[in-house]
Each structure stands twice: as structure tokens, then as C-alpha cells.
Amino acid sequence: MNDVLVQVAAFLNDEIITSQEAAGGCIAQSSIIRTISGKTYFLKQGFNNGMFKCEANGLLEIEKANCIRVPKVIMVEDEFLLLETVQEGRKSTRVMFDFGRDFAKMHMFKAEEYGFFENNFIGSNQQINTHKEKWDDFYFTNRLLYQYKLAEKNGYVTKELESKFLKLESQISNILEGSEEEPCLLHGDLWGGNYMVDENGKGVLIDPAVYYGHREADLAMTKLFGGFSSDFYQGYQDWYPFQEGYNYREGIYLLYHVLNHLNLFGSGYYSQTMSLLSQYV
């Protein structure tokens, strides 16, 4: 038994009898552990950079909104995160409609400033959450500019990309004009692999990159890889309608995640980055 399992067993005061690799989690090593008392837990390990404590803090923040389920945090240390297991249920029209509604309710949980009390992670890249009063300032500086500078460091910035990005800097306020809202609680990285449906037919959010921002940033991410039915968006709209002009702004929010994928996975995301920039400059 490795050191992590020894620590977990001591904390639980329960003997671990099996540890089986679990699907999901393209970054961390995930497993289901079973104890002699018959309980099961979900264990994530493989990093020692503060990522797991940030994930735990994000789950706890979403839990505060009291409107959508997240796995309960059992134990967290620098090198691992222990969560309750969630029994998977089946998606249906009603389930996805309700999930969209509950996600909208989470977006009504507000804060005074954009950002979060700590920086966290988007994938394995750092996500900067320094508080700012204005959304366009926060989004450009902490999201787009940070990823652009990382892309420069990684050697992905061409003259063409540089030219378009410099033009974007002067246009960002105009692009986002008219969509101002109070800072709301965001999952931060909601694609199809970062939610589940539980045994009671309720949506469950996992692997968050939490901060307080504009809800359109969360909604745009759901479009990047699919996985969300029209019923999800209808449920959301019925509770908290999209603002006018959202479809135009969607690409500017996708740009952050595509830049992040460029930095994480390489030049295969370059053409998509340029395509999104070309929508605005």
C-alpha cells in the first residue's frame, strides 16, 4: 500500500481492501477505493502543486450556492484529494432540463468583485483570479493576456496571431459592451466530461476551476466539445434568460479555452485560435 493509501486509511479509520483505477480525469490519476466496512471513495492523486486543494475549494464554493450537487470533499492534502463516490444515473429530457435550471440558479449566486480568493488551475495550467472591479479588465488581463503570454513562451505565437491579438486588446471593451452583470459563481471549465448525472437524476458538477465572473463565459465553454442537449439550454433559459448579443460574444469566451488548449496540447489548436480571433478583429 502506497503512502497516500496509508494516510487515507488512517484518516478514515478503516482498512482499504481494494484500489481500482477509474475512468475519467485526463490529468490526475483517479481510482475507486473500497474499505473493509463496505464504503467506497473516489481518490485523485499524481500532483503536488496545490491543484487538489484548489479543486476542493472550488467544490466547497459551489456547495455554498446550495442549488446543484458536487461530490463531497472527504479529505484533501497537497498530493491527493478524497471525494465521495457518485453513483451514475441516466440522462433524459427531464434530467437535462432540470440540470440547466439548476446551473442557472448557481449563476445567481453573486459576489462583489470578479475573481476568487486564490489562483487555481484550468487543466494543468494556472488560472489567475486576481480581483478586479471591471469584467472587461478581468477577462482580458487574467484570461486572454495570460494565455497569450504563455503561448509566446511556448513558441506558438506567429506574427499573424500577434497582430490580431494586439488589435483585440483595443476592441475588448466594445465587444463586451452592453453585457454587464454582477460577478456570479462559475464552474469555470464546464465541458461534457465535467458533469455527471447521479442515481436520482440530478446533475453533478465535477473538476471545477471556480471563480466569480460573467455567466456567459461558463455557457460558452459548454459549446466547445458538445455534450449538452437543447433541453439543458431550455432549462437554463427558462430560469435565467441569456442576455441580448450572447451569440456574438460566445466566441470571445471560447477563445480563452482554445488558447489554453493550444498551450496544453500544441499547435493543433492554432487554426481554431486564429478563426476565433478573426470573428472580432
| Span 79-99, pLDDT tens digits | 999 999 999 999 999 999 999
- ∠ CA 86-32-127 to the nearest 5 degrees? 75
Task: Please check the confidence at residue 25 and state whether its pLDDT lies above 60.
Answer: no
As separate numbers, helices (DSSP H) first and strands (DSSP E) second, the chain gives 10, 11
Q: Note the pLDDT of residue 202.
A: 97
Q: Look at 12-26, 113-127, 193-207, 246-260 and tell me which has the smallest mean pLDDT.
A: 12-26
- As a whole number of angstroms, the distance between CA 117 and CA 64 comes to 15
- Degrees, nearest 5: CA angle 279-191-109: 95
Cβ atoms of residues 258 and 125 within 8 Å = no
Q: What is the mean pLDDT of residues 16-26?
A: 81
Catalytic-labelled residue, pool 189, 207, 218, 231: 189
Instruction: Indicate the pairing of strand 16-21 with strand 29-35.
Output: antiparallel
Q: What is the pLDDT of residue 26?
A: 57
| Percentage of residues in the chain having pLDDT higher than 70 | 99
pLDDT tens-digit readout, 35-76:
999 999 999 998 888 999 999 999 999 999 999 999 999 999
| pLDDT tens, residue by residue, 194-249 | 999 999 999 999 999 999 999 999 999 999 999 999 999 999 999 999 999 999 99
Cα–Cα distance measured from residue 259 to residue 88, given in angstroms and rounded to the nearest whole number: 32
pLDDT digits (tens, 9 = 90+) for 150-161: 999 999 999 999
Mean pLDDT of 164-193: 96
Helix axes 230-239, 93-106, angle to 10 degrees: 40
Under 8 Å between Cβ of 130 and 142: yes
Question: Whole-number mean pLDDT of the chain?
Answer: 96
The pLDDT assigned to 196 comes to 96
* Grid coordinates of 170: 483595443
Mean per-residue pLDDT, 245-274: 98
Identity of the amino acid at 178: G
| pLDDT score recorded for residue 24 | 59
Task: Tell whether the model's pLDDT for residue 261 goes beyond 60.
Answer: yes
CB atoms within 10 A of CB 98: 19
CA distance 91 to 232: 11
Q: What are phi and psi of 84, to 5 degrees?
A: -65, 150
DSSP 244: T
**Residue 136 is a catalytic residue:** no
Do residues 98 and 28 make contact, with C-beta atoms less than 8 angstroms apart? no
Q: Give the model's pLDDT for residue 23.
A: 73
